[in-house]
Amino acid sequence: MKRFWAWGALIIGLLYFILPLIGMTNFSLKMRRGVYSFDAYAKVLGDTRFQETFSYSVTLALLTILVGVFLVVPTAYWVRLKLPFLRPYIEFVTLLPLVIPAIVVVFGYIRLYNTSSWLPLTGTALGTDVLLVAGYTMLALPYMYRAVDTGLRTIDVTTLTEAAQSLGAGWFTIITRIILPNVLVAVLSGAFLTFAIVIGEFTMAALLNRPAFGPYMQVLGANRAYEPAALAVIAFAITWGCLGLIQLVSRFQKSAQRPV
């Protein structure tokens, strides 16, 4: 009886999750009347707006990952090494983006960096891109910090640092040659999550008026019938691809670091 309910719950859960997906995929394939076809996909992929916004978002995602790694790895390392009592506070700060809506942050940015401010970043495209990357970095912070901090927990940060120092290494060498390689898998899972977040992000890009993928999806969704469904399937595939890659690298780490 117990088993029955367990299976029942699982099946209902799966249906709840999968049915809309199937419906959407089904719909996305029906652009040509009466037959299944990839017409909607071809149309989406062939659209220059798609290509532009997608490559714009990919570029920004990569930049966000870079900035995030440069910001988070040394910080998490330093906190573990020298300021362990600050860890709970730092963790709290990195969780703030989860409770502060992106729209609040964007309005803050616009107020602070508008064209009549002391640092008119919103005045140029490049300046706005800088702001956007900063905002994305912040959005990704909870995931990036946790991933890296968890990675650091698996190594003896203090002793490895001292071993490297006694061999003559300075901070730059220690972080790039010892710390980063040992948390690389954690950094990669943080990076894939960041990628997935940035690709789909709407609020910040829209309000800062940049040609990103999120706003494009929204515009397309409001004006077309079949293409948005195809686009959603594509976006889903990207996110799931990222999650799959996280699984893959963490499995790779398990086989590389555990005694065989």
Partner 1 sequence: MSFLTLTHLQKSFGSVKVVHDFNMTIEKGEFISFLGPSGCGKTTVLRMIAGFEIPTGGTIEIAGKDQTNLRPNQRNIGMVFQAYALFPNMSVFDNVAFGLKVAGKPKSEIDARVKEMLKLIHLEHLSDRYPYQMSGGQQQRVALARALAPKPQVLLLDEPLSALDAKIRVSLREEIRQIQRQLGITTVFVTHDQEEALSISDRIVVMNAGKADQIGTPGEIYNRPTTRFVANFVGTLNVIEAILVNAATGTVKIGEEVVSLPQPITGKSDGQSISIAFRPEAATIAGPSTGPAAVTGTVLSSNFLGSVVRTKVDAGGNIISFDMFNQASAQIPKAGETVSLSLQPDGLMVLGD
Chain residues that interact with partner 1, rule: CB under 8 A: 155-156, 159-160, 162-170, 173, 177-178, 181-182, 257-260
In angstroms, give the least distance from the CB of 177 to partner 1: 8
Q: Give CA separation, 10 vs 1, 99, 228, 236, in Å.
A: 14, 30, 29, 22
Quick count: other Cβ atoms within 10 Å of Cβ 21?
A: 12
In angstroms, give the least distance from the CB of 170 to partner 1: 6
> What single DSSP character describes residue 4?
H
What is the rounded distance in angstroms from the CA atom of residue 20 to the CA atom of residue 9?
A: 18
- For partner 1, the closer of residues 181 and 244 by Cβ is 181
- For partner 1, the closer of residues 159 and 223 by Cβ is 159
103 close to 33: Cβ distance less than 8 angstroms: no
Torsions phi, psi of 8, nearest 5? Answer: -60, -45
Region at 209 (left for phi over 0; alpha for psi -120 to 50; beta for the rest): left
> What single DSSP character describes residue 191?
H
In angstroms, give the least distance from the CB of 84 to partner 1: 15
- For partner 1, the closer of residues 156 and 252 by Cβ is 156
- For partner 1, the closer of residues 34 and 259 by Cβ is 259
What is the rounded distance in angstroms from the CA atom of residue 78 to the CA atom of residue 13?
A: 43
Tokens of 27: 């719909």
In angstroms, give the least distance from the CB of 163 to partner 1: 4
Quick count: other Cβ atoms within 10 Å of Cβ 175?
A: 17
In angstroms, give the least distance from the CB of 5 to partner 1: 44
- For partner 1, the closer of residues 139 and 164 by Cβ is 164
- For partner 1, the closer of residues 105 and 157 by Cβ is 157
Tokens of 227: 């293409």
Nearest to 147 by CA among 119, 93, 189: 189
In angstroms, give the least distance from the CB of 73 to partner 1: 14
- For partner 1, the closer of residues 55 and 154 by Cβ is 154
In angstroms, give the least distance from the CB of 246 to partner 1: 20
Nearest to 177 by CA among 169, 185, 189: 169
